[in-house]
DNA sequence: TTAAAAACCTACTAGTAGGTAGGGTAGGTG
DNA sequence: CACCTACCCTACCTACTAGTAGGTTTTTAA
């Protein structure tokens, strides 16, 4: 079966988003996939391999997803609202952004994983930045520093609010917080 | 010795801020404090006890610290900058806000710990909110929704930016991001 | 049809986690 | 003086972690 590998990645991703990369174990994955623990090692010899591939896969899938939103015909503030909704939907399932979840445990990661993580963040920020470039052009957004810097700030805000709101306030608090920040960036 | 307990809490806090609450172990604490693992159990029978006390201690110490800033004579935007600097200084030592760090692992926490965590967040937000109330009064800050909501958004932003910047960009990125958000909230 | 390659299994290793049992010792109190 | 409590110790337990060895089944391809 080719899709056992995908099932493993799916289960791993779900676990990472819910409980974090350190609390995600091969045992947990084997339980949900319905495969023995040793068999997972056949597909991903070391856990670091799994983490690396998870990061790469998410960079692609979420990158495509973000791009869909960013390339649309909406105004810049509307696009920011749609991007925030992606995070809000994750939160409603008690799930954190994978990059955000792994970032918090970055100190226990291998160097090569950290590099992929860094690249994923930069990739996301680059996509987000196009919205801020558009916003500056159409005068719908106002911010100091560069569009890249603003994109970094906005992405970081979404990651943090997802984390804090999961512990306190849930999607309601998240939604209001996003509203405030987008309003503040709006001209 | 009375301060063994404090030494344990200090070591535990440092570990939680650097590697997260799940990667923090009694073994690690015993190594840095210079005491046997079993002796820590004398002071904190279960790990949950340690975590609970850590949260309560931080709520007091950081609460007092934030209050010092908030009660000062600065303008509201200046106070926000000072609050951001607290997080920036932590980041320069590779350390995350304790509440932020524990929040990411909240799914592996006991219920009572979650309640203390929630209370810590609400406490911090309440302190932060006074700055936004001041800002609205003196017309130095402009935001939609309530001051509490804005404080929640700002705190979440700081938590998230600390996490993301530790993986990508460091204090420079953090500083610029904080600049952008505070500028956006400034009238 | 046969042989190799891929996938999966049982059974195991070594290491670490949190936690416990029970003994030794120092300092204070009746 | 005896006693008690707080503190710290050695030694151990169970549960779980990532990872390995080596055999079996299934799939694929010549």
* Separation of A2 CA and D28 C1' (Å): 13
Chosen from A153, A158, A172 to mutate, greatest number of chain B CBs within 10 A = A153
* Domain membership flag for residue B11: no
| Strand C positions within 7 A of protein Cβ atoms | 7-11, 16-22
* Domain membership flag for residue A32: no
Enclosing domain of residue B165:
48-185
* Domain membership flag for residue B31: no
The answer on pLDDT for A1 being more than 80 is: no
The answer on pLDDT for A174 being more than 60 is: yes
* Separation of A89 CA and C4 C1' (Å): 48
Task: List, as ranges, residues 65-84 from B with C-beta within 8 Å of A.
Answer: none
* Domain membership flag for residue B56: yes
CA distance B162 to B168: 10
CA A53 to chain B, closest CA, distance in angstroms equals 18
* Domain membership flag for residue B147: yes
Residue B62 belongs to domain with CATH number: 1.10.357.10
- What are the pLDDT digits (tens) for B10-38? 999 999 999 999 999 999 999 999 999 99
* Domain membership flag for residue A26: no
Max intra-chain CA distance, chain A:
56
* Domain membership flag for residue B18: no
Our count of domains for chain B comes to 1
- What are the pLDDT digits (tens) for A129-157? 999 999 999 999 999 999 999 999 999 99
Contacts of B143 in chain A (CB under 8 A): 180, 183-184
Contacts of A159 in chain B (CB under 8 A): 160, 163-164
Say what the pLDDT of residue A75 is.
95
Among chain A residues, CA nearest to B163: A104
Residues shown for chain B: 187
Inter-residue contact A55 to A117 (CB < 8 Å): yes
- Which residue, A155, A128, A105, is CA-closest to B104? A105
Burial readout B142-165 (b: 16 or more C-beta within 10 A, e: otherwise): ebeeebbbbbbbbbbbbbbbbbbb
Show residues, CB within 7 A, near nucleic chain D.
Answer: A 1, 24-28, 37-38, 41, 45-48; B 1-2, 4-5, 35-39, 42-43
Strand C atom within 7 Å of B24 CB: yes
| Strand D positions within 7 A of protein Cβ atoms | 7-11, 16-22, 27
State the nucleotide closest to A22 in CA–C1' terms: D17
Interface size between A and B, measured as CB pairs under 8 A: 179
Say what the pLDDT of residue B27 is.
96
* Domain membership flag for residue B125: yes
Q: State how far the alpha carbon of B163 is from the alpha carbons of A147, A183, B51, B97, in Å.
A: 20, 24, 20, 9
* Separation of A1 CA and D30 C1' (Å): 21
Mean pLDDT of residues grouped by 10 in chain B (187 residues)? 86 96 95 94 96 95 95 96 97 95 93 96 97 96 95 98 96 98 92
State whether the Cα torsion A150-A153-A156-A161 is positive or negative.
negative
Say what the pLDDT of residue A3 is.
87
Strand C atom within 7 Å of A184 CB: no
Chosen from B77, B104, B106, B144 to mutate, greatest number of chain A CBs within 10 A = B104
């Amino acid at each position: 079966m080719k899709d056992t590998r995908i099932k493993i990645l799916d289960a791993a991703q779900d676990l990472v988003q819910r409980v974090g990369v350190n609390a995600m174990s091969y045992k947990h994955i084997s339980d949900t996939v319905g495969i023995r623990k040793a068999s997972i090692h056949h597909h991903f010899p070391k856990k670091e391999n799994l983490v690396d591939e998870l990061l790469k896969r998410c960079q692609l899938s979420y990158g495509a997803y973000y791009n869909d939103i960013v390339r649309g015909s909406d105004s810049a503030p509307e696009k920011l609202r749609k991007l925030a909704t992606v995070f809000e939907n994750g939160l409603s399932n008690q799930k954190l952004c994978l990059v955000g979840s792994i970032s918090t445990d970055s100190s226990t990661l291998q160097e090569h994983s950290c590099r992929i993580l860094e690249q994923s963040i930069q990739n996301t920020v680059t996509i987000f930045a196009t919205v801020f470039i558009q916003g500056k052009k159409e005068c719908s957004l106002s911010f100091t520093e560069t569009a890249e810097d603003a994109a970094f700030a906005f992405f970081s805000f979404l990651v943090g609010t997802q984390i804090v709101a999961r512990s306190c306030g849930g999607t309601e608090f998240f939604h209001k917080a996003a509203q405030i920040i987008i309003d503040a960036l709006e001209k």
